[in-house]
Structure 1
Amino acid sequence: MKMTLGQKIKELRIRKGFTQSELSEGLVTPSMISQIESDKANPSHQLLTQIAEKLETPIEYFLTDVESQLEKISAYKLAHAVMQKGDYEEAITLLSQMDDAPSTQISVLDIQYDLAYCYMRIGELGKATQLFEGCLDAAIVSKDLLQMVRIMNQLGSIAIAQKNYPIALHYLKKAYDLVKKEMDSDPFLIGDIAYQLGKIHSQAAEWDLAKEYFEEASAVMKDSHDIRRIADVYLELARTYRESGNFEQSLHYAQSASGLYQALDALQIIIEAEAQTGIVLGETGATDAGIEVLDRCMTMYENYGFKNKTGSVHAALARVLFQDKEFEKAIHHCQKALEYTEPGDLDNVSIYRMLATIELERDNYQQALQWIDKAAKIAEKNGASAELVKVFAVYGDIFKKQGKYKEAMESLEKMNKAMVEDLRDRKVMV
Structure 2
Amino acid sequence: MDLLHIGNRIRKIRMLKGFSREYVYTGIVSNSHFSNIEKGRYQPPTETLRLMAKRLDVPSHYLTDFYEDDSEIVEVIECIESGIKNHQFQQAQSIFNKYQEKLTYVSSVWQELNLNLLRFDVYANLHQNDEAKKLFERELQGIIDLQDVPPELQYKYLKICGTYFFMQKDYEQSLLHYQQALNSSYAVADQIPVRYNLALCYYQLGNIEKACNSLNKVLHYELRIQNWIAAIHSYNLFGALFQKEKDYQQAQSYYQYGIALSELIQLKEVLIIGKLYHNLGLVYFEQENYEEAEKMLLHCLELRKDAPQIDKVKTIYLLINIYIKQGSLNRADDKLEQYKAVIPNSLVIFSRAKIAYAQQNYDDFEQYILQAMRLFEEEKEDVYLVEALEYYIPYLEEKRKYKQAYELLKRYHYIKNKGVM
Shift of 1:210: 2.4
Aligned to 2:358: 361
The equivalent position to 1:152 in structure 2, one of 189, 192, 195, is 195
Instruction: For 1:116 and 1:399, locate their aligned partners in 2 and report how far apart those are by CA, in whole Å.
Output: 42
The equivalent position to 1:171 in structure 2, one of 200, 208, 211, is 211
Q: Is the 8 A contact 1:112 1:131 kept in 2?
A: no
Gaps of 5+ in 1: 1-65, 226-265
Q: Is the 8 A contact 2:353 2:365 kept in 1?
A: yes
Q: Is the 8 A contact 2:155 2:184 kept in 1?
A: no
Shift of 1:291: 1.4
The equivalent position to 2:395 in structure 1, one of 384, 398, 402, is 398
Aligned to 1:180: 220
Question: Which amino acid in the other structure matches residue 205 of structure 1?
Answer: K
Shift of 1:218: 2.4
Aligned to 2:409: 416
Instruction: For 1:385 and 1:190, locate their aligned partners in 2 and report how far apart those are by CA, in whole Å.
Output: 30
Instruction: For 1:396 and 1:110, locate their aligned partners in 2 and report how far apart those are by CA, in whole Å.
Output: 46
1:351-394 deviations in Å (ceiling 9; x for gaps): 54444333333322222222212222223444656644443442
Q: Is the 8 A contact 1:194 1:217 kept in 2?
A: yes
The equivalent position to 2:256 in structure 1, one of 200, 205, 215, is 215
The equivalent position to 1:327 in structure 2, one of 326, 329, 334, is 329
Specify whether residues 332 and 83 from structure 1 end up closer, same or farther in structure 2 by C-alpha distance, changes over 3 A only. Answer: same
Of 374-383 and 86-95, the range deviating more from structure 2: 86-95
Question: Which amino acid in the other structure matches residue 283 of structure 2?
Answer: V
Shift of 1:216: 2.3
1:330-358 deviations in Å (ceiling 9; x for gaps): 23334445422343x5xx2xx54444333
TM-score by length of 2: 0.60
1:307 aligns to 2:332 (yes or no): no
Secondary structure of the residue aligned to 1:165 is coil
Aligned to 1:23: none
Q: Is the 8 A contact 1:297 1:313 kept in 2?
A: yes
Instruction: For 1:363 and 1:82, locate their aligned partners in 2 and report how far apart those are by CA, in whole Å.
Output: 48
Write out aligned runs for 1:169-318 (5 A). 169-180=209-220, 183-222=224-263, 267-303=270-306, 305-318=307-320
The equivalent position to 1:375 in structure 2, one of 372, 377, 384, is 372
Specify whether residues 397 and 202 from structure 1 end up closer, same or farther in structure 2 by C-alpha distance, changes over 3 A only. Answer: same
Instruction: For 1:118 and 1:74, locate their aligned partners in 2 and report how far apart those are by CA, in whole Å.
Output: 23
Question: Which amino acid in the other structure matches residue 421 of structure 1?
Answer: Y
Shift of 1:317: 0.7
Gaps of 5+ in 2: 1-67, 81-95, 97-114
Instruction: For 1:427 and 1:82, locate their aligned partners in 2 and report how far apart those are by CA, in whole Å.
Output: 29
Shift of 1:422: 1.6
TM-score by length of 1: 0.59
Q: Is the 8 A contact 1:322 1:358 kept in 2?
A: yes
The equivalent position to 2:178 in structure 1, one of 121, 127, 132, is 132
Shift of 1:178: 4.8
Structure with the greater alpha carbon radius of gyration: 1
Instruction: For 1:149 and 1:377, locate their aligned partners in 2 and report how far apart those are by CA, in whole Å.
Output: 40
Name the Cα RMSD after superposition: 3.7
1:229-276 deviations in Å (ceiling 9; x for gaps): xxxxxxxxxxxxxxxxxxxxxxxxxxxxxxxxxxxxx53122112111
Question: Which amino acid in the other structure matches residue 282 of structure 1?
Answer: F
Question: Which amino acid in the other structure matches residue 122 of structure 2?
Answer: Q
Shift of 1:418: 1.1
Specify whether residues 362 and 282 from structure 1 end up closer, same or farther in structure 2 by C-alpha distance, changes over 3 A only. Answer: same
Instruction: For 1:111 and 1:387, locate their aligned partners in 2 and report how far apart those are by CA, in whole Å.
Output: 33
Relative contact order, higher structure (CA 8 A, sep 6+): 1
Taking every aligned residue pair, what percent have the same amino acid on both sides?
11
